[in-house]
């Protein structure tokens, strides 16, 4: 041994570096960006109807005393179609679902609802993703649980799978 | 059959590599224990770290030592060289076999089926062989083998013991990568049944850049492995002195030239291919290639101090270890995908753990060896603070600080996530603010350093020599501030420093007979000038770029910078494996003749992907950069146009730097050869 | 699914099916008339990370959401909002991740100290070397 501990500093620094690299390798690959708005109130917004014959959506609708499921979706999004049966089941269980259609055309949306079913009570049209961004959402589909006072309680990124249905219903009911 | 032959060649190469390591250990092991003249004898061990021991070691004539050693060992040692050469031939055969498989589109090989496609042009079937993880690792091992053979055949200045130790180090590195290939990423695995067609290559990689950029970068990385092996050899044999430095210098220089070329080419490739006019994003993958370059640049300069003045011994060894460590860390970052990147390439986290293990063994081992052994080589010659050596120390200090900043900035998101669980991003605002000032200082020191004498310099004459450059620097600073009040601080300083150092860089040639000036001095001047030129290009690009985004209808004319651009129309166009919409832009500068630019929006079939191909007009004072976007509902097309004054200086400067390196390399090697001939004539 | 697809390929090589085919948001690719406002917007866009491709700023991204974010930024700048307020608005929604410019917080101060620390260590090492030299 040379008796100069400073000479071991590079090795120590490297081991520290390697520890972080190991962490990087071991951590689950999670590229989802979660919304930091969970726990906060839905920001004020007002969206026009996304398709003829259905009402649009405003933030006031979400603070009227009943909890809601807010589904951000689009007719051009493939996983959104896969999610449709689960939303149907949730709506059938008595949970009110409102939709925010991102970058969508009325006729394409009508076709989508006709083909995959319409579980929505209201659908707002968010043509430039402005409300999506205001909610801290970064893709479609995403689903938020909003309680009766208009507070965001939970965010689900990606489609709701069949095994998530019961859990989602429970989350909305717990949000009263 | 080709695949099996390739795999067999690879296995044989791996075995020879193991043999090379065993031989090296056998030669070095007993002699260092038994030979009385060996430096590991107990008597010298007690004096570790004392200046006397260092001086005694380096002053001893190496050739005498070699004669001291047993005949048997010399016999064994003679075997190491042919083994290294045979190993190189075998890996090269394996690599050639893989290229043949890709060119013939042999879909019964898994790797070919996943990355090749018979509709692809020949160039990309050829280059596609290394456009994937397995192929590029095979290329890495091939270059490693070739470098080892080159050391074995060409290196004449090293003490034989050290040559053997170096080849042993090279074999130790090689063995890990052979294992990686054979056990975790076999490029020759078969696929049964063979699919009717291959999946094809990512369209962004279908570019001549692929044929050029990865091989140059790998030559650089692997060249640094030679420097690393030299350092290991030096630590094992305790021979750190000017002779060692002079032997190592050409390898470092060669690696550095290729790294410079690789980074420059990669930057230009990203610039025209990504279609947003950016040439450097401080992206993790870019940083991964920059870090070895920074370390190699520092090493190149410290090795010069060691060769010329026998100073900075331990530091040079450390840098050699760090430089190759950075190329391995870079490879790991790129391959493991632990950081998100635009240039994500062949990402595979499963293999990341294998690479990480190699990283731990080699870097950890080398640093441990360093800590144990470097006490014997710590002392070197001393010098004044104001001297050529002093400037080179400052250069090393700044380069290392920049390297540290880039490393920490790149990994910081990972560190924060590990410690606190939150996600954050570190990007251009941080790097520009942290690296920018240091880089400017570095460039100033670069300009001043060569005007200083070795050992000791008086301040007054130095200032006199620096006066013209400093005057120009201040003049440019003032003029720009007055003429372009809106200019940002970093571009302003960048342009002024670039002007001043450009003059200072060529100052070493003043009042010299240009024909009798040594080639390596020319090399230094050209390389330093290249840095100043590149800096000017970067500053111009960020200060003066003009951007125009328009939704244009056919026939409309837009002006951008000095150009008027008439949108003449859009037509469909077809390539070998894509279809495209191609815009025709009639561009005209002042009253000059029109030229035509044709940016495309492409749709590839396999894999189905959309890309936009920029069209660029290059003139002496800059580039007009055009991109075709989407068509809007009203029929107009989105055009993105940039006028980028003097942006080409960035890559021209990079090329100058590499050219300077090449001149220096040729100069050094020629001088060595002449010296050897002279010795032979007298013998 | 859409995310996975996009991340699996290079960020610029957009998979064909993932787009909405809607026209870009109003100010996604339209510059502001006021050059100073446009410069401020561009400077901000270059430091906001694209949520879809994640390896680039929204100024350099072809993703639709990046276009929508550019549009949002230009609108707010045109309305007189300060760039740092817009950044704060985005960070409030997506966390510090969305900004390439790490703010000075307890979590990031080691990052901002690092350059000075490296320099200080380097100078200290070089000076001990020099002092030893002078003593000889």
pLDDT tens-digit map of B570-620: 999 988 788 999 999 999 998 889 999 999 998 888 777 788 899 999 999
Strand partners, A72: A100, A142
* Identity of the residue in A31, A102, A132 whose CB atom sits nearest the CB atom of C54: A31
pLDDT at site C2: 33
pLDDT tens column, C34-45: 999 999 999 999
Per the structure block, which two tokens stand in for B612? 């936009």
How large is the average pLDDT for residues B562-567? Answer: 95
Average pLDDT over residues B88-103: 95
Over range B198-225, report the average pLDDT. Answer: 85
Q: Reply yes or no on whether the pLDDT at C136 is more than 80.
A: no
Q: Which residue of B has its CA nearest to C9?
A: B202
Tell me what the pLDDT averaged over chain A comes to: 91
Residue among B431, B615, B642 nearest B541 (CA): B642
pLDDT at res. B239 = 81
Greater model confidence, A25 or B256: B256
| Model pLDDT, residue B616 | 95
Residues of chain C with Cβ-Cβ distance to A133 below 8 Å are 68-69, 72, 90, 93
pLDDT for the residue numbered B275: 83
* Residue B318 with chain A: CB contacts under 8 Å: 10
How far apart, in whole angstroms, are the C-alpha atoms of residue B657 and residue B646?
A: 17
Contact list in B for residue C93 (CB cut-off 8 A) is none
Q: What's the rounded Cα separation, in Å, for the pair B237 and B50?
A: 17
pLDDT-derived band at B503, boundaries 50, 70, 90: very high
Give me the residue from A7, A25, A31 closest to B371, CB to CB. Answer: A7
**Residue B347, pLDDT score:** 67
In the stretch 82-111 of chain C, residues with CB closer than 8 A to chain B read: 95-102, 107-108, 111
Q: What is chain B's mean pLDDT, rounded?
A: 86
Å between C89 CA and nearest CA of chain B: 16
Q: Which of A34, A129, A139 sits opposite C2 (nearest CB)?
A: A139
Question: Are the CB atoms for A81 and A157 separated by under 8 Å?
Answer: no
Chain B positions in Cβ-Cβ contact with residue A8 (cut-off 8 Å): 371
Banded model confidence at residue C135, pLDDT cuts 50, 70, 90: very low
B364 with A22: Cβ contact below 8 A: no
Q: How far is A77 from chain C (nearest CA, A)?
A: 7
Could B422 and C136 be called an inter-chain contact, meaning their C-beta atoms sit closer than 8 Å? Answer: no
Nearest to B203 among C13, C101, C125 (CB): C13
| Residue B456 pLDDT | 80
Q: Which residue has the tokens 């009040």?
A: B485
- On chain B, the residues whose CB falls within 8 A of the CB of A16 are none
In angstroms, the CA B628 to CA B615 distance is 9
CB contact under 8 A, A11 and B367: yes
Q: How far is B172 from chain C (nearest CA, A)?
A: 32
Contact A127 C72 (CB under 8 A): no
Q: How far apart are CA B361 and CA B366, in angstroms?
A: 8
Identify the band that residue B435 occupies on the pLDDT scale cut at 50, 70 and 90. very high
**pLDDT interval class at B554 (50, 70, 90):** very high
Q: Nearest CA to B297 among B238, B252, B239? A: B252
DSSP string, B274-298: HSSS-S----HHHHHHHHHHHHHHH
The tens digit of pLDDT for each residue in B527-543 reads 999 999 999 999 999 99
Q: C91-127: per-residue pLDDT in tens?
A: 999 999 999 999 888 899 999 999 999 999 888 877 7
Q: Do C69 and A37 touch (CB under 8 A)?
A: no
- Give the pLDDT confidence of A41-78 residue by residue, as tens digits: 999 999 999 988 899 999 999 988 899 999 999 999 88
Element (H, E) at B552: strand B546-552
Q: Are B610 and C13 in contact (CB under 8 A)?
A: yes
Which of B273, B405, B603 is facing C114, going by the closest CB pair?
B405
Residue-level pLDDT at B185 = 86
Cα of A35 to nearest chain B Cα, Å: 12
Check residue B344 and give its pLDDT: 64
Query: Among A149-163, B667-681, C90-104, whose mean pLDDT is lowest?
Result: B667-681
Q: Does C119 touch chain B (CB under 8 A)?
A: yes
Read off the pLDDT band of C11 (50, 70, 90): very low
CB–CB of A128 and C2 under 8 A? no
> What's the average model confidence in pLDDT over B475-495?
93
pTM metric for this prediction: 0.90
Query: Is the pLDDT assigned to residue A84 strictly greater than 80?
Result: yes
Rounded to whole angstroms, the Cα distance separating A94 from A173 reads 10
pLDDT classification of B481: cutoffs 50, 70, 90: very high
Q: Does residue A36 carry a pLDDT above 90?
A: yes
The three state secondary structure string of B379-397 is: CCCCCCCCCHHHHHHHHHH
**Amino acid B53: pLDDT:** 37
Q: Taking CB atoms and an 8 Å limit, are B349 and A14 in contact across chains?
A: no
The predicted-structure confidence for B123-142, as pLDDT tens digits, reads as follows 888 888 988 888 989 999 99
Residues B286/C56, Cβ–Cβ less than 8 Å:
no
Phi, psi of B550 (to 5 degrees): -140, 145
- Please give the interface size between A and B, counted as residue pairs whose CB atoms are below 8 Å apart: 73
pLDDT at B121 over 90: no
For residue C96, list chain B residues with Cβ-Cβ distance below 8 A: 422-425
Q: Which residue has the higher pLDDT, B511 or B571?
A: B571
Instruction: Kindly determine whether residue A37 and residue C7, on different chains, have CB atoms separated by under 8 Å.
Output: no
- Flag if C11 and B547 touch (Cβ within 8 Å): no
When mean pLDDT is compared across B53-62, B83-92, B210-219, B627-636, the lowest value belongs to: B53-62
Contact B427 C49 (CB under 8 A): yes
């Amino acid at each position: 041994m040379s008796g100069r501990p400073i000479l071991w500093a590079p090795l120590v620094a490297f081991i520290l570096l390697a520890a972080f690299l190991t962490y990087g390798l071991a951590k689950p690959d999670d590229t989802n960006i979660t919304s930091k708005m969970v726990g906060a109130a839905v920001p004020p917004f007002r969206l026009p109807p996304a398709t003829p014959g259905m009402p649009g959506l405003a933030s006031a609708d979400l603070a009227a005393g009943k909890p809601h499921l807010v589904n951000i979706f689009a007719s051009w999004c493939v996983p959104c179609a896969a999610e449709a049966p689960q939303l149907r089941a949730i709506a059938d269980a008595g949970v009110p679902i409102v939709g925010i259609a991102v970058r969508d055309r009325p006729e394409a949306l009508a076709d989508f609802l006709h083909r995959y079913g319409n579980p929505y009570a209201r659908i707002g049209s968010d043509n430039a993703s402005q409300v999506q961004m205001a909610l801290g959402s970064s893709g479609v589909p995403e689903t938020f649980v909003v309680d009766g006072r208009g507070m965001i309680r939970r965010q689900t990124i990606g489609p709701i799978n069949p095994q998530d249905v019961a859990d989602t219903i429970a989350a909305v009911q717990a949000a009263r | 059959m080709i695949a099996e032959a390739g795999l067999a060649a690879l296995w044989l190469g791996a075995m020879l590599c193991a043999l090379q390591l065993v031989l090296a250990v056998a030669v070095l092991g007993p002699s260092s224990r038994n030979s009385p003249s060996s430096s590991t004898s107990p008597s010298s061990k007690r004096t570790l770290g004392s200046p006397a021991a260092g001086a005694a070691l380096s002053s001893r004539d190496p050739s005498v030592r070699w004669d001291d050693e047993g005949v048997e060992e010399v016999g064994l040692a003679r075997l190491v060289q042919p083994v290294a050469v045979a190993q190189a031939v075998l890996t090269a055969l394996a690599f050639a076999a893989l290229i043949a498989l890709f060119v013939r589109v042999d879909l019964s090989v898994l790797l070919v089926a996943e990355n090749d496609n018979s509709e692809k042009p020949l160039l990309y079937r050829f280059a596609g062989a290394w456009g994937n993880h397995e192929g590029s690792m095979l290329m890495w091992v091939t270059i490693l083998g070739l470098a080892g053979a080159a050391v074995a055949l060409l290196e004449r200045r090293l003490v034989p013991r050290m040559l053997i130790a170096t080849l042993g180090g090279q074999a130790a590195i090689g063995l890990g990568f052979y294992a990686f290939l054979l056990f975790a990423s076999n490029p020759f695995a078969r696929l049964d049944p063979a699919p009717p067609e291959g999946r094809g290559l990512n369209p962004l990689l279908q570019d001549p850049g692929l044929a050029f950029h990865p091989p140059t970068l790998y030559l650089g990385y692997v060249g640094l492995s030679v420097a690393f092996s030299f350092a290991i050899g030096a630590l094992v044999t305790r021979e750190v002195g000017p002779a060692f430095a002079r032997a190592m210098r050409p390898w470092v220089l060669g690696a550095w030239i290729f790294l410079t070329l690789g980074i420059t080419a990669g930057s230009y490739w990203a610039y025209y291919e990504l279609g947003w006019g950016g040439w450097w994003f401080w992206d993790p993958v870019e940083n991964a290639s920059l870090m070895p370059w920074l370390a190699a640049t520092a090493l190149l300069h410290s090795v010069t101090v060691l060769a010329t003045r026998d100073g900075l011994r331990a530091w040079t060894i450390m840098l050699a270890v760090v430089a190759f460590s950075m190329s391995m860390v870079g490879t790991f970052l790129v391959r493991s995908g632990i950081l998100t990147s635009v240039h994500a390439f062949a990402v595979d986290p499963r293999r990341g753990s294998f690479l990480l293990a190699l990283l731990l063994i080699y870097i950890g081992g080398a640093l441990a060896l360093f800590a144990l052994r470097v006490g014997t080589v710590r002392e070197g010659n001393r010098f004044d603070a104001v001297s050529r050596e002093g400037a080179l120390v400052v250069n090393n200090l700044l380069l290392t600080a920049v390297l540290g900043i880039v490393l920490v900035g790149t990994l910081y998101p990972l560190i924060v996530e590990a410690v606190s669980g939150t996600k954050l991003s570190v990007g251009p605002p941080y790097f520009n603010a942290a690296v920018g000032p240091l880089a400017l200082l570095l460039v100033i020191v670069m300009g001043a350093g060569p005007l200083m004498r070795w050992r000791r310099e008086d301040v007054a004459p130095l200032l006199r020599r620096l006066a013209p450059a400093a005057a120009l620097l201040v003049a440019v600073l003032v003029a720009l501030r007055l003429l372009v009040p809106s200019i940002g601080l970093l571009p302003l300083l960048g342009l002024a420093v670039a002007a001043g150092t450009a003059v200072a860089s060529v100052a070493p040639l003043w009042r010299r007979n240009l024909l009798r000036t040594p080639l390596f001095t020319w090399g230094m001047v050209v390389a330093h000038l290249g840095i100043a030129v590149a800096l000017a290009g970067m500053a111009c690009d960020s200060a003066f770029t003009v951007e125009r985004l328009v939704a244009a209808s056919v026939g409309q004319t837009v002006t951008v910078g000095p150009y008027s651009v008439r949108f003449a129309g859009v037509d469909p166009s077809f390539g070998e494996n894509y279809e495209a919409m191609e815009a025709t832009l009639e561009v005209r500068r002042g009253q000059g003749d029109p030229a035509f630019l044709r940016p495309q929006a492409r749709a590839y079939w396999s894999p189905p992907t959309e890309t936009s191909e920029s069209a660029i007009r290059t003139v002496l004072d800059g580039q007009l950069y055009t991109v075709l976007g989407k068509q809007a509902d009203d029929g107009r097309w989105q055009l993105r146009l940039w006028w980028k004054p003097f942006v080409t200086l960035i890559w021209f400067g990079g090329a100058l730097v590499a050219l300077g390196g090449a001149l220096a390399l040729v100069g050094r090697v020629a001088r060595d050869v002449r010296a050897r001939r002279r010795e032979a004539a007298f013998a | 699914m859409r995310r996975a697809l996009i991340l699996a390929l290079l960020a610029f090589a957009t998979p064909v099916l993932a787009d909405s085919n809607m026209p870009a948001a109003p100010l996604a690719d339209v510059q502001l008339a006021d050059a100073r406002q446009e410069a401020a917007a561009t400077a901000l866009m270059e430091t906001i990370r694209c949520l879809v491709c994640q390896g680039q700023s929204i100024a350099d991204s072809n993703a639709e959401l990046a276009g929508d974010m550019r549009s949002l930024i230009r609108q707010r700048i045109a309305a007189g909002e300060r760039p740092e307020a817009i950044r704060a608005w985005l960070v409030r929604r997506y966390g510090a991740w969305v900004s390439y410019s790490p703010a000075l917080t307890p979590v990031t101060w080691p990052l901002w100290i690092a350059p000075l620390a490296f320099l200080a260590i380097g100078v200290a090492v070089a000076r001990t070397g020099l002092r030893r030299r002078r003593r000889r």
